[in-house]
Amino acid sequence: MPVFLFDELIIGPIHSRRLGKSLGVNLLPTHSKQCSFNCIYCECGWTKGRNALKMDLPTRDEVNVALEKRLNELVGTDAEPDSITFAGNGEPTMHPQFAVIIDDVIAMRNNLIPTAKISVLSNGSMLHKHQVIDALMLIDNNIQKLDGGNEAIIKAINMPLKAFKLNEYVEQLKRIHKNLIIQTLFLRGRLNEKNIDNSISTEVNDWFDLLRKIQPKAVMIYSLDRATPAHELEKISEDELILIAQKVKEIGIEANVFG
Ligand code: SF4
């Protein structure tokens, strides 16, 4: 099964394991990926080097026109979305107008489908920007990636394109913890003849330590669902994910499994 790229600005609604009927907003280019990470499991495929940080993105007006049109088509139908979800071919918060687009979409949602949540699936690499943080604090589901509890496993799984300092990232997450959902994908496998496994107890314990520090309002735990660019990856069983989630709950944090 090949990896795939979204070919539209507005996608769906499609069924999402985590968000229900999800209407996707792709603030990245269609037909190509732009991201600050190069996750070994990315359903969009490998990030193409540092050129992936260059922007060739839809404008604010294009997003507004396309989303309003689609929401108007969906109002009052069985396909009304549960979530308007910023995801797509890369990292949505890299869009330079991300914050004002969030303002626009909140107003549009309130006007047209007030029951829909607004969700952002992010890798957290833009949390040094106060405009991005302010926008994320306004939405319903601020979902940020944390695929491990130490720099070595995060670098092995997410392969950030720029310098990554876990202690700085944890401080950023702590600042937004009151409206923060952590998303963690567990996997095991091999890449370039090295074993990678964030589900073993030592790795999971490091991750618990970070959750204790960050105190998010919830954690989403999930495993592989689609084709991955690295071929020797293995899906972690739902039973294993449930055991991890139970331990998260024991430290007083809500945890949900999407196997
Ligand atoms: S952060 Fe998301 S879009 Fe970027 S490489 Fe990882 S999975 Fe893909």
What are the φ and ψ backbone dihedral angles of 209, each rounded to 5 degrees? -60, -40
Q: Is the dihedral of CA 12, 157, 3, 126 positive or negative?
A: positive
pLDDT 10s digits, 5-41: 777 999 999 999 889 999 999 999 887 889 999 999 9
> Residues with Cβ < 8 Å from 97, sequence gap 6 or more?
59, 60
Q: What angle do CA 190, 193, 196 make, to 5 degrees?
A: 35
Domain membership of residue 179 as a residue range? 10-258
Q: Which of 5, 44, 184 to mutate to test the pocket of ligand 1 (most atoms within 8 A of CB)?
A: 44
Cα–ligand 1 centroid distance for 72 (angstroms): 30
Tell me, yes or no, whether 15 lies in a domain.
Answer: yes
Q: Which of 91, 143, 155 to mutate to test the pocket of ligand 1 (most atoms within 8 A of CB)?
A: 91
Tell me, yes or no, whether 4 lies in a domain.
Answer: no
Atom 8 of ligand 1, nearest CA residue = 42
Q: What Å distances lie between residue 197 and 152, 154, 210, 219, CA to CA?
A: 11, 11, 17, 19
Tell me, yes or no, whether 3 lies in a domain.
Answer: no
Cα–ligand 1 centroid distance for 39 (angstroms): 5
Instruction: Give the tokens for residue 86.
Output: 């910023």
Q: Can you give the CATH number for the domain in which 146 is found? A: 3.20.20.70
pLDDT 10s digits, 177-225: 999 999 999 999 999 989 999 999 999 999 999 999 999 999 999 999 8
Tell me, yes or no, whether 62 lies in a domain.
Answer: yes
Q: Which of 6, 34, 158 to mutate to test the pocket of ligand 1 (most atoms within 8 A of CB)?
A: 158
Which pLDDT value is given to residue 54? 61
Tell me, yes or no, whether 38 lies in a domain.
Answer: yes
Cα–ligand 1 centroid distance for 76 (angstroms): 33
Tell me, yes or no, whether 17 lies in a domain.
Answer: yes
For strand 218-222 and strand 181-185, is the pairing parallel, antiparallel, or unpaired? parallel
Question: What global pTM score does this model have?
Answer: 0.95
Total domains in the chain come to 1
Tell me, yes or no, whether 132 lies in a domain.
Answer: yes
Tell me, yes or no, whether 2 lies in a domain.
Answer: no
